[in-house]
Amino acid sequence: MQTIASDIDKIRSDFPILSRKVHNKPLVYFDNAATTQKPQVVIDAIVNYYTDLNSNVHRGVHYLSQQATTAFEDVRTKIQKFVNAKYRHEIIYTRGCTESINLVAGSWGKANIKAGDEILISALEHHSNIVPWQMLCEEKDAKLKVCPILEDGSLDMSALSALMTPATKLLAITHISNTLGTVNPVKEITRMAHEKGIVVLIDGAQALSHMKVDVQDIDCDFYTFSAHKVYGPMGIGGLYGKEEILNAMPPWQGGGEMIKNVTFEKTTYNELPFKFEAGTPNVGDVLGFGAALDYVTAIGLDFIAAREHELLEYATEKLTADPLIRIIGRAPEKASLISFMIGNIHPYDAGTIIDQFGVAVRTGTHCTQPLMDSLGIPGTIRASFAFYNTREEIDKLMEAIVKVEQLFL
C-alpha cells in the first residue's frame, strides 16, 4: 500500500462506491465528516465473517466460536495500538461515540456526580456530547457549564481556565469540531483540567481518521471513537478509559458476558473489558473495523494528514475567491472540512442544487444546534474531505455553487 500512496486513482479504486454515478454524474462525496466511505477490504471482512466464521464469541469451545473470539479480540489489540492505550482491556466495544459518552455518563457520572457539582463542555459540541450531560445534571441537580469560542471558531482558552472551579468534576470536549473543523489542543486542555482534579473525556469522533491519536500522551481519562468515521462500518466503535477509573466504575448495562457469577440472590461482575460489554456483540462489524484500521495504517496517517491539508487549502482558496461565500470557522488549526454560506441562501436550498451535480455535501445544523444559535445562523453547507478526494472534485463543487448563485441571487 505504501508504494501507491501517491496514486490517488489506485486508492480511489479501493472504494467501490466512488465509481458510481448520482443524477447521471460521477459521485463527488464531500460528506466524510458524517460518515466515510468503505474500502473493499472492509466490505470483504464483514462478508467473510458471515460466510465462513459466523459464531458467537466467548461462548463456546467449538472451532467457529474459538476462531471468532480470537479474531474479535485481535481487533481490540489493533485498536489499543492505534490509539496507544496502555492495556488492551482499556478498550471497551460500544456502538460508537454516542453510546460511549452515554456509558460514561450512566456509569462514572451517576457514581461520581452529586448535587452542586459542575460538568464543563464547550460551545463546539455535538448533541451527543451535550444531551447525556444535560440528562445527568437534571438527575443529579448538577450544573452544565459551556466554554465559549472566539470569533475564528477556536476555543476561548482563557474562559476555559476560568470556568474550571473546585465544583467542576468533569470536562467533556471534542477533539475536532464536526461543524467548524477546529482542532482543540486536547493535551494542553487535559493538563489544565488535571491540575484542578477534573476528569477529562475527549470526543474523538472526527479525529481518528485525520491524525495520530495517542491517549497516553494526551493523558485523557476517557476517549471515544466511531468506526464509521474512520472508513469502517456503522454501529461499532469504542471507549478508551484508564484502567483504574474503569475498574472503579459500576457496570452500565446488565446481562450476559458482563457477569462472573449469577444467582437469584446476588451477581458478581466480570473483569475489564467485559464488565461493560453486556450481550452479544457486533462481531462482524468489529472485524470490519479491524480491516479499516489495517487499511488506514497501510496508507499511512502522515500521508492522509498531508493529503487532506492540501485539499483543505485548495478548497479554502477557491471558496474565498468567491465574494458571495462566507466561511464559518477559521481557526488556525483545522481539520479537512469547511462550513460555509452562500449569500443569504438557505443551506437546504443550496444543497439541493449542489446535489444535482452529483456532489454530496451536508446541510443544516450538523447536530450542533446550540453552536448555530450562538452564531446567529440557520445552518451551513459543509464540505468535508477525505484523502481519496481530489482537486478536480473541488472544482466540480465550485461549478455547482455558481449554478446556485445564478438561480437564487
The whole-number pLDDT of residue 278 equals 95
Q: How confident is the model at residue 340, as a pLDDT? A: 98
Sequence ranges of the domains in the chain: 2-30+300-408, 44-297
Predicted pLDDT of residue 2 = 43
Whether 147 is catalytic is no
Q: What is the pLDDT of residues 71-88, one digit of tens each?
A: 999 999 999 999 999 999
CA distances from 25 to 42, 181, 355, 359, 360 (A): 26, 28, 10, 9, 12
- pLDDT per residue as tens digits for the range 320-332: 999 999 999 999 9
Residue 239: other Cβ atoms inside 10 A: 26
* Secondary structure string (H, E, C) spanning 25-38: EECEECECCCCCCC
pLDDT, one tens digit per residue, over 222-271 is: 999 999 999 999 999 999 999 999 999 999 999 989 989 999 999 999 99
Query: What CATH number labels 44-297?
Result: 3.40.640.10
- Measured from the Cβ of residue 252, the count of other Cβ atoms closer than 10 Å reads 21
Whether the per-residue pLDDT at 403 is higher than 90: the answer is yes
Beta bridge partners of 327: 340
Per annotation, catalytic residue among 137, 147, 220, 367: 367
**Superfamily for domain range 2-30+300-408:** Aspartate Aminotransferase, domain 1 (3.90.1150.10)
Confidence bin at 60 (pLDDT 50/70/90): confident
Share of the chain above pLDDT 90, in %: 96
Q: Is the pTM of this model over 0.85?
A: yes
Buried b (16+ CB within 10 A) or exposed e, 347-369: beebbebbbebbbbbbbbbbbbe
